[in-house]
Amino acid sequence: MQESLGANFWRISFSIFFFILGFNLILPEMNTFISRLGGESNKGLIITLFSISALLSRPISGKLSDLIGRKKVINFGILISVLASLFYPLFLSVPLFLALRFFHGLAAGFTPTGATALVTDIIPENKRGHAMGIWGTFISLGIGIGQGLGSFIYQLGGFNFLFFVAALLSSLSFLLTLNIKETLGSPQIFSWNLLKIRRIDLYEKKVIPAAITMVLTAPCSGFLFVLTPDISENLGIEMKGLYLGIYAIPTILIRLFYGRFFENVKRELAMIIACCFLLLSILLLLYTNNISCFIISALIFGIATGISSPTLFAWTADLSPKNRRGVGAGTVFIALELGVMIGSASTLLFYNGSSDSIQNSLFVGITLVISALIYLSYRLKSAN
């Protein structure tokens, strides 16, 4: 497998690892940071504004990825991530901090879109599930290690040190892209006219089934980004990123062996299995009142994402026309950001810091996952 993927695959995989690691490192302490600025009631906006920015930039990044090249799009996002990380210590009012979160979201709108299009170009068609499993492992490692180490690094050196380390990791991501070969044939020279977005640039209609599934399941991640640091604190856990750190372990294991179990399984069926695990993890979290239940929920959530992520991106690769892989990847990432935004934004309506309000937020997630199960079951039945 490694030989068939080649050096380009491994370089971009390590690059995306450091990129994801960089902006996840700061997430566990963002609630504390905005609270110290006097914006405790705006915790839900930390993820929401980031996701809105990423969502709005996806059509542009997808189009540019198919026209000027994957690498330029990847590196533009990395540059934004470096700058945003360095600016956090300087933006010490709630409005400025939230504006910077919006700016930082552009990084997530560009780099993963270009990187996913590049990876889709590289991987053999008959190994998409397995290759996306490996690709997803690097992303999960970035999320898990970042969430797990964020509070520890903060305790070592405070917020300034935390933001500096995040900028350094994003810089390492950029260095790794220097030897990556562009996979787009005959890329165009950038011009401002390319930023004009037509209706055809907004989404790729052939990947809509994967996008619908993504938008119904991704809100659970939005809830967890906002709620689990506070749930951890309520349970007396000092490492506020523990939940998302633990979930990465089964996610990585599942993705490493994904191809063996799911390569030849219909995408809809694989997603039904993932949604069942996702529903169970949220139900456990809904009624958790001890650390053991909290950890079990995290492990089951990891199994769910270990199956769902490579399935959705392999499904996207299956459905995307070769000349619109950037737009296809952008479409599913738009669905991802929309889903995360729905999840995080709903906490502004339902979450006020109390245990009861946590349950209200999670009920929304349960409803959406059940909707995804109904949609996937209908598609699977129709296919048969």
Sign of the CA dihedral 128, 134, 138, 143? positive
What residue segments make up the domains of the chain, in order of their start? 2-179+201-383
- Give the integer Cα–Cα distance in Å for 202 and 62: 9
Inter-CA distances, 285 with 37, 43, 46, 253, Å: 29, 20, 22, 22
- Residue 164's SS3 state is helix
The reported pLDDT for the residue numbered 384 is 66
Instruction: Return the CATH architecture of domain 2-179+201-383.
Output: Up-down Bundle (1.20)
For the chain, what is the largest distance between any 2 Cα atoms, rounded to a whole number of angstroms? 58
First to last CA, the chain: 32
The reported pLDDT for the residue numbered 233 is 80
The answer on pLDDT for 202 being more than 80 is no
Q: Do residues 371 and 216 make contact, with C-beta atoms less than 8 angstroms apart?
A: yes
Q: How many CA atoms lie within 13 A of 185 on its CB side?
A: 5
Q: Do residues 30 and 240 make contact, with C-beta atoms less than 8 angstroms apart?
A: no
Model confidence over 171-188: pLDDT tens digits?
999 999 998 889 888 888
- Residue 109's SS3 state is helix
Q: Do residues 226 and 284 make contact, with C-beta atoms less than 8 angstroms apart?
A: no
The answer on pLDDT for 263 being more than 80 is no
Contacts of 104 (CB under 8 A, 6+ apart): 23, 50, 53, 80, 81, 84, 85
Model confidence over 341-353: pLDDT tens digits?
788 777 777 777 6
Query: pLDDT confidence of 5, banded at 50, 70, 90?
Result: low
